[in-house]
Structure formats: structure tokens, C-alpha cells
């Protein structure tokens, strides 16, 4: 329900916690930000391959890090009940094919002070529109 979604009283503080957790790769910090029923997947999900809870999201991050993937946070912009997160990603197949880092964006839907849903995008304008953040 739309009324249940909000970015707490201090969206900037949550944005900084998200930035810190993602940049450090600290799986405990990432888990602490996630709602137990958090989902993660493609923009038009749900799909079979989506993560369906906090444990699956953390396991995905752990396996990606173990495979060499790293992300530098380039932005965290609060929207209306969302955060738009920009990432520069290395160590993935897409980065190897591009010959260097690739840019990706995630729209995090926030409920209170927890991330309830994550959707990944290849295009900032599309992600920003989804997050309600200026492109």
C-alpha cells in the first residue's frame, strides 16, 4: 500500500548509511538496512531469479563479492519513499565486456528505516523517473 512507504524522518541519514554499507561491502551492515521480506530484481519484476527476502539479497551480495564484483557509490538521492543509488561496478562480466567499470542504478523502496524493495536499472533517467528523483 502506497501509504506504508516512507523514508523515515531523516532521509539523508539513511542515504549515508546505505552509501557506507554498499561501499564497504559489509554484509552485516547491508543486512541491517534490509526489511526481512526485502525483494531485489529487475524493474519489471517479479521474476523467478529475483531475491525474495533479506537472506537471499545478502547471499547474492556475498557471491558477487566472492566472484570479484565491486561497486563504488556515485550517488544516493532521496525520492518520495525511495532512494536512487548510482553505482560504478567492476569485476562483473558486463564490466569485462565494456573494458572497464559500468554504471548501474538501483531504486530502493523504503518503508520506515528499512529497504523493502530494490530494482536494478542500466539507465539513470529511467531509474530516476521510477524513484521520483530529477533526471
Is the peptide bond prior to 93 cis by the omega test (within 30 degrees of 0)?
no
Residue 94 C-alpha cell reads as 558486463
DSSP assigned state of 51: B
Residue that the C-alpha cell 554499507 belongs to? 21
The domain ranges of the chain are 2-131
**Residue 51 and residue 60 in contact, taking contact as beta carbons nearer than 8 Å:** yes
- pLDDT per residue, tens digit, the chain (135 aa), is 333 344 444 678 889 999 999 989 899 999 999 999 999 999 987 788 899 999 999 999 999 999 999 999 999 999 989 999 999 999 999 999 999 999 999 999 999 889 999 999 999 999 999 999 987
H/E element, 31: helix 27-33
* Architecture (CATH level 2) of domain 2-131: Roll (3.10)
- Whether the pTM exceeds 0.85: the reply is yes
Give the C-alpha distances (Å, rounded to integers) separating 131 from 13, 21, 71: 18, 20, 20
Amino acid at each position: 500500500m502506497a501509504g506504508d512507504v516512507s523514508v523515515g524522518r531523516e532521509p539523508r541519514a539513511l542515504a549515508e548509511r546505505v552509501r557506507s554499507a554498499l561501499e564497504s561491502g559489509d554484509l552485516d551492515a547491508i543486512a541491517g538496512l534490509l526489511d526481512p521480506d526485502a525483494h531485489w530484481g529487475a524493474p519489471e519484476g517479479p521474476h523467478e531469479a529475483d531475491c525474495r527476502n533479506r537472506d537471499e539479497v545478502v547471499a547474492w551480495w556475498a557471491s558477487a563479492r566472492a566472484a570479484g564484483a565491486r561497486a563504488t557509490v556515485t550517488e544516493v538521492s532521496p525520492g518520495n519513499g525511495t532512494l536512487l543509488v548510482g553505482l560504478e561496478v567492476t569485476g562483473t562480466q558486463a564490466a569485462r565486456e565494456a573494458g572497464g567499470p559500468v554504471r548501474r542504478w538501483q531504486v530502493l523502496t523504503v518503508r520506515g528505516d528499512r529497504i523493502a524493495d530494490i530494482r536494478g536499472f542500466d539507465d539513470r533517467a529511467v531509474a530516476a523517473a521510477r524513484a521520483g528523483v530529477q533526471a
